[in-house]
Amino acid sequence: STGLALGLSSLYFIHRRHLPPKPTLSSASPRHNLNLALFLIHLYFLPSLSGGLYPGALFTDPEFGEGRPQIPGFVGLLAVSWVGWWVAGMGLETGSGAKLE
């Protein structure tokens, strides 16, 4: 449920309609929304990676045996999110990003 809530929050901030630009309303900018979405994604994956560092804890559930299969998956998903953030940011800078309004 935490992952679902964070994922939906990320989608909301990426796709919400943008208000007309005002000097005092910087939180409505597309760049701000993109950065906030990346932060919300990291709120889920970084704690998941650190879970195996607690004493007596493993990086996987006991019924799945030994190893650390979650580490490459989480690192891969974080890498994809950073690439997506960079690509979307480049689209914002060049003005070639999709217009959602």
Q: Is 34 a member of any domain?
A: yes
Give phi and psi for 5, each to the nearest 5: -65, -45
Q: Is 61 a member of any domain?
A: no
pLDDT per residue over 10-38, tens digit each?
Answer: 888 777 776 555 555 455 678 888 888 88
pTM: 0.59
Q: Is 99 a member of any domain?
A: no
pLDDT per residue over 42-73, tens digit each?
Answer: 877 777 777 777 787 777 767 767 777 777 88
Number of domains in the chain: 1
- State the residue range of the domain holding 71: 2-56+67-94
Tell me which residue of 88, 75, 91, 14 sits closest to 42, measured CA to CA: 75
pLDDT beyond 50 at 101: no
Q: Is 62 a member of any domain?
A: no
Measured at the CA of 44, the angle between CA 28 and CA 61, to 5 degrees, comes to 170
